Structure 1
Amino acid sequence: MSRADIAVGTIGLMEYDELNETEKDKCLKRDFIWKAPNMKKLKAENANMDLVFWQNEIRKSLYTRPARTHIDDYRRKYVSAVTSIRDKVMNATEPCKILVDGQQVSFISWAKEQFTSGSYVSSDASCAVTSTTFTDWDPKQIHRCVVKQRFGFTPEEAAMQDANEDIWGFIYDGMCPSDRHLMKPDKFYRDNESWHDSEKSKCFMVGCSSAWSYYHLPNATAELIKEGYAVVTSLRSHKVLSICKAEELEKTLNDVRKAFIAAKLDVPEKEIKRRKRKFVPEKLDTVRQIGGMDADSLIAVPENFMEVFHFRGGEWGNWLNADERVLNLTMCYNSFFNMANILGIKPECTSLGDMMSIAFGSRGRSSASAHFEPGGNVINLTRMSGAGCLAHEWGHALDYYLAKRYEIPAEFATEAKIHFEKDGTFYRTWDILPKEFVAVYYAIEDAKEFLKGSKKFDELFTKNGHGYWSSNCELWARAFDCYISDKLKAAGIIDTYLSRGADSFYWEENGIMYRAYPAGEERNRINKAFDDLIKHLFVPNTAE
């Protein structure tokens, strides 16, 4: 079973056991086993927000993932605990109550019986359950939290609640301390110096019989406040927003609140946190393959493809017609042949140990022209939109292959920790991986302009592929794409299906050019290091 086939929030022990190790690492997260609530959908369905809040608080109380991820029994206990709590809580019809054997029982009682031993969380549940899971929520407390946090509120509802809590009206009653009124301080309060009038302002008391606060109002404003008048004020800012006759207070209060709500919703553009946009390079007008293997010289068939490159498997998307399948397969066949040619390796080496698969338009993501899926070790090319991305994605596949070949406990070799523990022994990652890989890694790390441009892209644009623009695995893949582009050029081959060139990742701002790809001497050093790595891994008499 592929991770792509598992819906978030539906995984249980049965689904978990069918996953491979890489997919288990990906799925072994609380938010994958028990997804966060879709507030927009729940709001449209008029869901009980008190219930949703409580369910989400129970979800958040669980550990995001187990600590001992390398122990399978520990991981299975984590999945079991999270799914059992999820299934009970998400089937609840009211906060704090769950259905057990047809009877409504307290969640706390059930949870303590299932997951505690004496006064402590049991050893089997400690991988998932925390002490916060046993918080004894009260329905009234839950509702107060919903209102205070504006949980599930639309912007309009949140603004209205803010207005009702902040903007109040008070009638001036002289010295009479009646409910929600404005008055001058009486003798008791005048003993406090902070309640005294000054030359420029006069002090007024605002509040009710049980809670008062004081306002210092400018003399010009204070003179307008007299018997039979009222003020509309902000409790948070201690500002008088309007003064009116007492009989007009309700209308004035509503008008001020409406203006407050409108101002809340009409936030100036400069105050809105700008969302990062997606960087989209220019699309290729045509895909060209000139020199090397010519697309017109061969019509590839799946059997040919598998036999020559030793791929583990292949997959078509349902929406690819027969002509598109032939076109995609033929160009991909030519590109892999060209890559093997320029790298000086055997064609079968391109499948990276006969373990990689290829897919055309079947596992695509809406935001990606192509992507590498480590869980299934698959490169997916999204119809002809994936043209030009093959070298980049093969760079990711090579990164993944290195981690698996040298048994590094990481999805990608570039993302590995400095040290790792295996069977009770600690190893230094750089001592396990070949020195040629380490040379590429440090050549990229020392490419200051490359890193500077990539970090600028992080500021301006959304994540790309497997992480941020400046993440190790993305730096590696773009550098490898440039390496292939340079090798094609040196061989006199044009193959824009294999690589359109990472040189398109640039941005100019205030007269400064930022490049999210290596250039100049930095690029030459990285290319030389990649040459040595490819030779070490795939060329006979040089590999291990």
Structure 2
Amino acid sequence: MSASNRLKRGFYRQGPDYRFDDQVDFSDIRDTFGFRTMVVGKWVTKEERFISANLIYDALADLAQILQVPPKTIGLRGKLNFAFGHGGQQHVQAHYNSRTRTLALAKNAGGGALAHEWFHAFDHHITKHIFPQHSPQHFASKLWLEHTIGQSHPLNLALNKFYQGVFLEPTGQHANQYVLDCIEFDKRHQQFYMSMPEELAARSFEACIACNEQIVNHFLVSGLNNSALIYPKRDSLKICNNALNDYFSQLGQLLFQDH
């Protein structure tokens, strides 16, 4: 199926109307969501550009709405770059490059992976705020397993609960079943991917976004039930979702006050 046909087939969405049927362009996405740069590949046709811009705009607006944060929060204080149909990896539908701080979507297969990759960007961005003594090149999820988050700020407490929900059982003493299942999967397949800390955290975030009942956007996140990937169990997901709601609602209140 061609990229145009993939985009034309549409992606199920249930949520607020942000554009009122207006056509947006990638410059609108950059300005609305506060990205540092916005790059569109030279092989993206004019038609694909129009269709994908609307899909991406609505998906990011839905993400901001679910997280209860100002739209520009999505661009991570102007540090995050965005690429569509440009700078991705072969056979990969979407990718976050931590070296260049770029979220890249493939034009023919990026739909449904946006929430997952955005969390990679957030997980990378937040490191300098919660682990300032460590290299900002690391993902916070990985550092969380090795170091303690400073507990002086309510936001840190909420984010700490999220990471605890990703990795540990409720007592906080042992790895939860989600982690154990992923470790076992990697052992069977002689790889280290499913149980990578940053992947465990991104899939947990993705699952939290997918379980929102008011806003559903299959360009933002989809396919979890039919995926070969492993996602958190219900109990872990509930803990993660509550912690995320707490963290981002607090963050949103602070950021809205600054506007």
Question: What TM-score, normalized by structure 2, do the two folds share?
Answer: 0.82
Q: Cα offset for 1:316?
A: 1.2
Q: Cα offset for 1:455?
A: 2.2
Q: What amino acid sits opposite 1:451 in the alignment?
A: V
Partner residue of 2:150? 431
Task: Say yes or no: does 1:326 pair with 2:50.
Answer: yes
Q: Cα offset for 1:289?
A: 2.5
Q: What amino acid sits opposite 1:323 in the alignment?
A: E
Instruction: Give, in whole Å, the separation in 1 of the partners of 2:108 and 2:78.
Output: 25
Q: Cα offset for 1:461?
A: 4.6
Closer, same or farther: CA 440–305 of 1 in aligned 2, 3 Å: same
Please list the CA deviations of residues 162-193 of structure 1 after superposition, one character each: whole Å capped at 9, or x if unmatched. Answer: xxxxxxxxxxxxxxxxxxxxxxxxxxxxxxxx
Contact 1:289/1:295 (8 A) holds in 2: no
Contact 1:485/1:501 (8 A) holds in 2: no
Contact 2:69/2:251 (8 A) holds in 1: no
Find the structure with the greater CA-based Rg: 1
Question: What TM-score, normalized by structure 1, do the two folds share?
Answer: 0.41
Contact 1:309/1:351 (8 A) holds in 2: yes
Q: Cα offset for 1:418?
A: 6.6
Task: Say yes or no: does 1:478 pair with 2:206.
Answer: no
Partner residue of 1:450? 178
Instruction: Give, in whole Å, the separation in 2 of the partners of 1:295 and 1:505.
Output: 31
Q: Number of matched residues?
A: 240
Superposition pairs of residues 340-379 of structure 1, within 5 angstroms: 340-379=64-103
Contact 1:289/1:494 (8 A) holds in 2: yes
SS in 1 for 2:141: helix
Contact 2:70/2:256 (8 A) holds in 1: no
Which gives a bigger RCO, structure 1 or 2 (Cα 8 Å, sep 6+)? Answer: 2
Q: What amino acid sits opposite 1:326 in the alignment?
A: F
Equivalent residue in structure 2 for 1:394, among 99, 118, 125: 118
Partner residue of 1:518? 232
Superposition pairs of residues 165-184 of structure 1, within 5 angstroms: none
Equivalent residue in structure 2 for 1:469, among 194, 198, 202: 194
Q: Cα offset for 1:531?
A: 1.2
Instruction: Give, in whole Å, the separation in 2 of the partners of 1:439 and 1:499.
Output: 23
Equivalent residue in structure 1 for 2:248, among 534, 537, 541: 534
Superposition pairs of residues 142-157 of structure 1, within 5 angstroms: none
Instruction: Give, in whole Å, the separation in 1 of the partners of 2:108 and 2:168.
Output: 35
Q: What amino acid sits opposite 2:180 in the alignment?
A: K
Superposition pairs of residues 14-29 of structure 1, within 5 angstroms: none
Instruction: Give, in whole Å, the separation in 2 of the partners of 1:457 and 1:327.
Output: 38
Q: Cα offset for 1:458?
A: 1.4
Equivalent residue in structure 1 for 2:218, among 496, 515, 519: 496
Q: Cα offset for 1:298?
A: 2.8
Q: What amino acid sits opposite 1:481 in the alignment?
A: E
Q: Cα offset for 1:414?
A: 1.1
Superposition pairs of residues 27-66 of structure 1, within 5 angstroms: none
> Aligned-residue CA RMSD in angstroms?
2.8
Q: What amino acid sits opposite 1:411 in the alignment?
A: H
Unpaired stretches in structure 2, ≥5 consecutive residues: 1-5, 170-175
Equivalent residue in structure 2 for 1:414, among 126, 141, 150: 141
Instruction: Give, in whole Å, the separation in 1 of the partners of 2:167 and 2:14.
Output: 34
Partner residue of 1:339? 63
Q: Cα offset for 1:441?
A: 1.2
Instruction: Give, in whole Å, the separation in 2 of the partners of 1:360 and 1:541.
Output: 28
Partner residue of 1:69? none
Instruction: Give, in whole Å, the separation in 1 of the partners of 2:34 and 2:110.
Output: 22
What percentage of residue pairs aligned between the two structures are identical? 23
Closer, same or farther: CA 442–299 of 1 in aligned 2, 3 Å: same
Q: Cα offset for 1:373?
A: 0.6
| Structure with greater strand percent | 1
Partner residue of 2:173? none
Superposition pairs of residues 259-338 of structure 1, within 5 angstroms: 286-293=10-17, 297-338=21-62
Please list the CA deviations of residues 113-138 of structure 1 after superposition, one character each: whole Å capped at 9, or x if unmatched. Answer: xxxxxxxxxxxxxxxxxxxxxxxxxx
Contact 1:293/1:337 (8 A) holds in 2: no
Closer, same or farther: CA 304–520 of 1 in aligned 2, 3 Å: same
SS in 1 for 2:88: coil
Q: Cα offset for 1:308?
A: 1.2
Contact 1:418/1:430 (8 A) holds in 2: no
